[in-house]
Structure 1
């Protein structure tokens, strides 16, 4: 009974804690006693800062914050959050009955002046004067209040920042799992990738210029490259700059269609060498160095970004780059047998059960799982380097050595299906590359020679010479392990 009561109490406390956490996140931060403004971050609409070295003006526009001085540009929400937090939660010490004009306080020539707009166009001005003899604090005044305040040095370091370092350097922030469609417009043509329901699951497919399976990892890598690129320089959004950067006639245009949101379009212009400011040690004159850049612009963002030229290469993708280039869509569990016919080297047949391989020809016996599983892995992973011929049932196979192939691998798949991989002649002047085709498509591919390298040269390589530990007979099959490999022993670390 007591144990049940304790368990119920723990569950109740967890539930209460969860409710409090949700309420705090919905309502924003918790206001503390002694705060001057007692604001939520959403109450702030404008912050203007002027200091000895830096000055800027930030304005809220919808969900974003923008610099309006000393330039027009998007602010990085993560980087300016400490500024907004510092203002919203300002909690200084107050001294009444002080003469704010006293030169000791330095408020006639402040080191920082901060103008804040909040609520329904309410305004306040915060001035930081001289450093307090007590250390780590500044004398300060706040408009509308007669007291002399002491504000921590941390506040100054939070608000007195170089606006160039607070700019949003990313082209856009993109959640891969929320993106549904990606059209690319290139001079060579349009390429569209989208999520299409297949067997009840949303799957990446190329939908234009024709329908093809897309490679999931390539598509997700594309989105990462798109959202992770960072600007090394910025230019003002003017007609002259649009022409000078080639953005009046983009080399590449793409659009990200995100679930429940308006599509975002990105344009990439010309590439050229540009002098880029390099960070230096504090107090040192900043230097510049030449760098190859590409100019980029995003819809709804009135500024031009210069990114490393590699950004263009990471986004200028073709159908071949994004399509699924696997010759055969196979899974290991569904492969039940192999039959290999070769001009040179051993030909063989093998069948696979849940626990082991059995060789049926040219000899019989238990198969060397390391060798055969390695071959299966190569077949599953085999991808086209390029497509020499696509969708042509009348292709002249003899031209590629595929009329009488040097190797034919028949793969028996669960359900009685068979897929045959034919390997033809070597590609002229391309070492280690071969022509190939499959029984399921009218294509000719160029592949590397990894599958041929995985084939056994003799019948003895196919056979396991000792009992298989995995079969439950207490011994580990060492015959099919690579030279130098150490078998695992039960109880070993």
Structure 2
């Protein structure tokens, strides 16, 4: 019984839902019919509008909007592009324009009223709409006294409608809102090419074209352009808006001797603007008169923006001539005559330094990641300060010192792609010191800053990994001494004696674990150390450490590192006789040792026994 009752209730609910849906649909249909019956203008007519004419008592200018293909234009009082958003808003309001109440014009006289009573004899605004072979007029009269509504005369003149006043509010605003203030409607993303024709520079035409995300000059020379700067210039001009129109005639804006034409090309259209300088009046030299080709209307543009167009061949040129090689290169060779050094990437993605020693033997050593990154940064950021010439003669190359360059930098990306940079002689002018340079990718000669030359060191140790030696993690430093060589005595370094002694011992222990230098010198280890000018430098201290390994705990290894005295603010030599390497201590280590050794300016006093100081193990 319960089952049958449940089935009955479900059937009744379903039937009720169907009845509700049916009546709701009928009501919705009825509402749509009522709404469509109240529409004043046929929506199909509005959709096919070709001309809109706006006349009113509040303005002596007649505004005419005309559609050409899919674009709306203003043909009066100016000939210019129409604001598509403003036009679409007007068309939307016309399509939805519906009356809320109405009364016949024929009954006005019997009630003692007339069209003048509703401001419809001389309407506030008259709209003339044309589409195909049809047209109609809409007369907007006075607002209602209550309800925030508006009186409107029907197109056939038989009824006065009461409608919402949104249409009147839109038209009573500044009608110049129908003008598209943008000069160029082609966006940055759509722009495929840009051309500047400068009549003041022998009518030269500078043309740039885009290939995917890269921009390049195609005339008057073929070379890479700086994509970021090109986009900045395009953004500046495509964001430029007309502030006001002039009464100047079209014939006054022509390509005269000082004029310039800027053209932007999209995938399906080309837009050009002609600009000529104002030579008279208060704004002479400050503004340019401008005209967009296809429109006779004249407006003004600030002179600064236009003058920058005259130097685009220099300003937009890609000055980072090696940027495309800054990543994913496999080798980098620096040469001067017979001297040279090469950074080479190995199969495991580590790097090595290759060089030829004095015996003409090829040597290799691990390269520092910092040195590789510094080269990548140099390739990425190095800029041509100025381009000197794009067609140098043989005599020019000799004069620029590029026939026997001070540096040759060759960068390879795999086996197919490479570039060579030459740095030539000195260029000095106007107090600025620069060097001539060129690449094998073009004939152009340009100028670079001195830091580029100084960054291309021929010293292979400048690129070497900064670590002299590194103990394995299982090694244990069982003893540590700092020996004053002239006396042969150990400097007291008991960690219980002072905080500074404890800090020095901890720093030395970490340093012996990983002997890292700030930079290397190309002088081999010797005792005393022979410097580049043949002077000899004594090693004043020795860091001596006893190291034990789990594999052989009874047999300790002794490590000795030689230290000079501090020579200057950031200079103190360290030498490793086992590897033969000599470098400079890191500044942090210099300062720690200097503050400690300053307490012992004289020779340490001998003790009865001076065993190596035992290093305290950290508490786990």
TM-score, with normalisation over the residues of structure 1?
0.70
Shift of 1:341: 4.8
1:46 equivalent in alignment to 2:52:
yes
User: Which range moved further: 124-133 or 444-453?
Assistant: 444-453
SS class of match (1:96):
strand
The residue aligned with 1:173 is: 185
The residue aligned with 1:429 is: 430
SS class of match (1:193):
strand
Shift of the 151–249 alpha-carbon distance from structure 1 to 2, 3 Å rule, reads farther
Gaps of 5+ in 1: 1-30, 277-289, 469-477, 484-493
Shift of 1:458: 9.4
- For CA contacts below 8 A with separation 6 or more, give which structure has more relative contact order: 1
1:190 equivalent in alignment to 2:179:
no
After TM superposition, the structure 1 = structure 2 runs for residues 214-233 of structure 1, keeping only pairs within 5 Å, are 214-233=225-244
Shift of 1:326: 4.3
After TM superposition, the structure 1 = structure 2 runs for residues 258-297 of structure 1, keeping only pairs within 5 Å, are 258-261=266-269, 263-271=270-278, 292-297=286-291
Shift of 1:455: 5.5
Instruction: Indicate the RMSD between aligned Cα atoms, in angstroms.
Output: 4.3
Candidates 457, 462, 465, aligned match of 1:463: 465
Shift of 1:269: 0.8
1:363-417 CA-partner distances (Å, limit 9, x unpaired): 9654332442232232144342322233335144454354554444332442176
Shift of 1:460: 6.0
The residue aligned with 1:131 is: 144
1:4-26 CA-partner distances (Å, limit 9, x unpaired): xxxxxxxxxxxxxxxxxxxxxxx
Contact 1:76 1:166 in 2 (8 A): yes
In 2: Cα distance, 1:439 partner to 1:206 partner:
18
The residue aligned with 2:367 is: 367
Candidates 84, 89, 94, aligned match of 2:91: 84
1:158 equivalent in alignment to 2:157:
no
Contact 2:206 2:217 in 1 (8 A): yes
Contact 1:393 1:442 in 2 (8 A): no
The residue aligned with 2:330 is: 336
SS class of match (2:56):
strand
1:416-461 CA-partner distances (Å, limit 9, x unpaired): 7654323342432253633212355444211235535756799467
Q: How many residues align?
A: 420
The residue aligned with 1:357 is: 351
Shift of 1:148: 3.3
In 2: Cα distance, 1:115 partner to 1:291 partner:
44
Candidates 234, 243, 258, aligned match of 2:245: 234
Candidates 113, 126, 134, aligned match of 2:126: 113
Shift of the 130–32 alpha-carbon distance from structure 1 to 2, 3 Å rule, reads closer
The residue aligned with 2:261 is: 253
Contact 1:59 1:67 in 2 (8 A): yes
In 1: Cα distance, 2:443 partner to 2:285 partner:
46
Shift of 1:302: 1.6
Gaps of 5+ in 2: 1-33, 358-362, 471-515, 519-586, 588-620
After TM superposition, the structure 1 = structure 2 runs for residues 348-427 of structure 1, keeping only pairs within 5 Å, are 348-353=341-346, 355-361=349-355, 365-392=365-392, 394-397=394-397, 399-402=399-402, 405-415=405-415, 419-424=419-424, 425-427=426-428
Shift of the 51–314 alpha-carbon distance from structure 1 to 2, 3 Å rule, reads farther
TM-score, with normalisation over the residues of structure 2?
0.57
Contact 2:277 2:289 in 1 (8 A): yes
In 1: Cα distance, 2:60 partner to 2:451 partner:
60
